[in-house]
Amino acid sequence: MSLSIYLHIPFCLSKCPYCDFASIPLDRNLVEKYVSALLYEIKSFSSLKIDTIYLGGGTPTVLKLEQLDKIMQVIKRDCTLTPNCEITIEANPNTLDENRIRGLRNMGFNRVSLGVQSFNDKELKNLSRIHSADQAIHSFNLLKAGGFENIGLDLIFGIPEQTLRSWKSSLKKAVGLSPQHISTYSLTIEKETKFYQMKKEGKIKLLTDEKVRQMYLWAIDYLTSKGYKQYEISNFSLPGFESKHNLNYWNHKEYLGFGASAHSFYKDKRWGNLRGVRKYIELMKKKGKAIQFEEKPSKEQLITEAIFLGLRKTEGIDLRQFQKDFKVKLEDIRKDKINHLTGLGFLSKQGSSLRLTKKALPVADSVIVSLI
């Protein structure tokens, strides 16, 4: 059985005020030590059959090409890649040029997720992004000219001072570039972020829930009218360009995560690494692992996860596959909740699929939690 692997690269040129991922400002001296620790962790697994590889962060493209190549060479040497292996790297617009793009292609990367966030310079400034809208367009065109035929754009809505009009403009500019994939994420204020503190101090004013809902629903209607299929709550793609890596998560398949804060679900076990970059390096050097927690999920835990992940997909949960996996019918063990949510118009059963309705999408997390 093939599986997905995720590699966390925690370095960024600067830390965004809304980001709660394990990331730190770029430190070239620390990068080399981190890459060595990461490679040691990868080498602790062998003979893996890999279906998707995803380098996320942070901003993986701040690494030197030689460092990225070293990582890819170890994976290719120690693992078997399936013929159509999807190999994704996250990038920010100001970290790409023709030479770097050529290098990424030569290493085998065949998909790029570009962190644009907005095509409005004022909104980019509000997010403390260090690229402009023009730079984002330029980087996209460089990727296209460099031979990448699977490019995704990440966009954020609900940005302070954003309007429905400016959101529509960003989406139209995104579609005008003809990317294969578009992700639309609602801005959420997480603890341990600068935005969280600014919100507490009244230094930023968030949009109302109703305005955010309008933005989301408009995005769904607009993108689907332009040929993009919504296959997950926040993700849209042209036919055949869904993210195979993320679908493996949502389909509750096995995966291995390497690096600080990375999580794994493999051979009936789940574990997660420490978030701290320096501590990760230190423990990998001393003990050969940097695991913060490890568990064997119970059947009930796995059922809960399958519901939560499965309902994120617009095609929903395959009830026949669910019964095959867990030897119980979801319709039986959650009968009252399913009936209640169906009566409210939040759930729909179509054939052997249980899925969220369009009405439920703006409040998907709450609906899913109430079913769990």
pLDDT at 236: 98
pLDDT at 1: 73
Q: What is the mean pLDDT of residues 245-270?
A: 95
Residue 372 has pLDDT above 90, yes or no: no
pLDDT-derived band at 22, boundaries 50, 70, 90: confident
Name the CATH topology of 3-250: TIM Barrel (3.20.20)
**What are 30-55's pLDDT values in tens digits?**
999 999 999 999 999 978 999 999 99
Residue pair 76/55 in contact (Cβ under 8 Å)? The answer is: no
pLDDT-derived band at 334, boundaries 50, 70, 90: very high
pLDDT at 293: 96
Residue 245, helix vs strand vs coil: helix
**What are 98-135's pLDDT values in tens digits?**
999 999 999 999 999 999 999 999 999 999 999 999 99
Residues 6+ positions from 47 with CB-CB distance below 8 Å: 78, 79, 80
pLDDT at 264: 97
pTM of the model: 0.95
User: Could you tell me the CA-to-CA distances from 65 to 5, 94, 225, 278 in Å, in that order?
Assistant: 20, 15, 39, 22
CA distance 77 to 194: 41
pLDDT at 164: 97
Query: What CATH number matches the domain at 299-371, 1.10.10, 1.20.950, 1.10.150, 1.20.1260?
Result: 1.10.10
Residue pair 78/114 in contact (Cβ under 8 Å)? The answer is: no
pLDDT at 165: 97
Selected residue with higher pLDDT from 224 and 21: 224
Please state the separation of Cα 333 from the chain's center in Å.
30
Domain residue spans in the chain? 3-250, 299-371
Residue 19 has pLDDT above 90, yes or no: no
CA distance 92 to 170: 17
